[in-house]
Amino acid sequence: MCVWFAGLGMYSARTLFAAGTRPDKARIIVSLVFMALATSAIVAQFWFQRRIVCEFIYDGSTLQFRTLGISQTQMRPLEDIAQVKEWRGRGGPIGYRLVFQDGAKAYLEYSVANSIALVDQLRRDARG
Q: Grade residue 128 by pLDDT with cuts at 50, 70 and 90.
A: low
Identify the residue with better confidence: 44 or 8: 44
Reported as a single tens digit per residue, the pLDDT across 76-111 is 999 999 999 999 988 899 999 999 999 999 999 999
Identify the residue with better confidence: 59 or 16: 59
Strand order in the sheet with 52-58: 74-77, 62-67, 52-58, 105-109, 92-100, 81-89
Reported as a single tens digit per residue, the pLDDT across 18-66 is 656 676 777 778 778 877 888 888 888 888 888 999 999 999 889 999 9
CATH topology for 52-127?
Answer: PH-domain like (2.30.29)
What gap in Å lies between CA 87 and CA 98, rounded to an integer?
A: 9
SS3 content of the chain, % helix, strand, coil (to 5): 45, 30, 25
pTM of this prediction exceeds 0.75: no
Phi/psi at 71 (nearest 5 deg)?
A: -80, -20
**39 and 9 in contact (C-beta within 8 Å)?**
yes
